[in-house]
Amino acid sequence: MKMTKLVIIGGFLGAGKTTCILELTKMLRSDGKKVGVITNDQGSSLVDTEYLKQQDLPVLEVTGGCFCCNFSEFAERLSQMTEQHLPDFILAEPVGSCTDLVATIMKPMAMLNYNFTMSPLSVVVDPLRLWKVMSESESPFPDEINYLFRKQLEEADIILLNKTDTLLPAETEDMLSFLQHEYPGADVIPVSAKKRKGLEVWLSKIAEYKPATGKPSLDIEYDIYARAEAFLGWLNLTAAVNCKDGFNADSFLEQTAEAVKAALAENQNEIAHLKMYIVSRDKYARLSCVSTHDDVKFDRKMSACVNEASLVINIRAAAEPELLHQITEKAVGAAAQAHDCTVTVREVEAFKPAYPRPLHRI
């Protein structure tokens, strides 16, 4: 019987997990492998899911909570993906504020005899967030966030220092040395997912490893973990955008994101991750931002004027959910007015994550 390899790819919000997954998928497919992806969020309506689907990938979601708290649904999605697509690899992306994955996902998968070969746990790291931890500089996030970030790294078998294209060689070396010293049990690999650098080394490590479920479970304080998650407000919004004479979708998306970023900065609320996606038939654009001090960056532009489009917005920020809702709808409304559009909001979720309660912990 064919054994599908399950690759769990964790890491904090904004680390670049989705880009890593997309580029790894391209490499695997070029080698003739079938790949499926499972995304995850505390809410629903995910930018990442829609973006990955546009790459002609089979994608399923686990929403309304993390993989570990919704373990039964996660297992169902794995079975569904396997039955429908017979993949050689399933790449699973947990919520960016999630940790303790070895004890709550990997070991239960092995103990409950699911028909998968477990790949070692990969954790993607954003260099800007890592530098703040290394330098112990003042952070807009509380100590609990750094605790969660460090726990993610502590349980990793493979640590991917991502976005090295944004670093000087000396900065890369300093960060690699820090990670190797602090987490000696992990393979530390410098990569740039966007530039497709270093990913061959990562793939070779995934391929050569045997199942890693014998690794000790984390020594973790769930009350601290829960406070870290609850510090962030989450917002997911979907809407229809219409304009009789056509509108520039890239400009609409960028203006909305910049307005949200400016309003959060004005209120001294830091962004953990902001993602926006707009699609019109076979044309689409996606942008992101990981701090109020970070530039809004396009992963892809639509480069077209369209009459109608669907909009998806995901924001994770150090702000109350009600404020996120107000800021986002105001920003969308202003962009609509500037582009002479009509926006119909379909769904809004604004909330703080609940206390993490894994179904299994081994």
- Same domain, yes or no: 163 and 15: yes
- Same domain, yes or no: 120 and 247: no
Give pLDDT < 70 ranges for the chain: 1, 137-138, 209-214
Contacts 24+ apart (CB under 8 A), 58-62: 58/84, 58/85, 58/87, 60/36, 62/38
224-260 as b/e, with b when 16 or more CB fall inside 10 Å? Answer: ebbbbbebbbbbbbbbebebeeebbbbbbbbbbbbbb
- Same domain, yes or no: 292 and 307: yes
Neighbour tally for 334: CB within 10 Å:
13
Q: What digits encode the pLDDT tens for the residues 11-49? A: 999 999 999 999 999 999 999 999 999 999 988 888 999
- Same domain, yes or no: 200 and 257: no
- The domain that holds 257 is classified in CATH as 3.30.70
- Same domain, yes or no: 128 and 213: yes
- Same domain, yes or no: 304 and 198: no
Contact 283, 306 (CB under 8 A): yes
Q: For residue 186, what are the domain limits?
A: 4-229
For residue 116, the model assigns a pLDDT of 86
CA angle 132, 260, 269 (to 5 degrees): 40
Tell whether 360 is covered by a domain: no
Contact 110, 360 (CB under 8 A): no
Taking the CA atoms of residue 266, residue 43, residue 278 and residue 317 in that order, the dihedral angle to the nearest 10 degrees is 20
Number of domains in the chain: 2
- Same domain, yes or no: 215 and 268: no
At 107, which amino acid appears?
A: K
Rounded to an integer, what distance in angstroms lies between the CA atom of residue 8 and that of residue 106?
9
For residue 57, the model assigns a pLDDT of 94
Contact 168, 21 (CB under 8 A): no
Q: Is the pTM of this model over 0.85?
A: yes
- The domain that holds 96 is classified in CATH as 3.40.50.300
- Same domain, yes or no: 224 and 249: no
For residue 210, the model assigns a pLDDT of 58
For residue 213, the model assigns a pLDDT of 56
- Same domain, yes or no: 244 and 217: no
For residue 137, the model assigns a pLDDT of 67
DSSP string computed for 72-102: HHHHHHHHHHHHHH--SEEEE---TT---HI
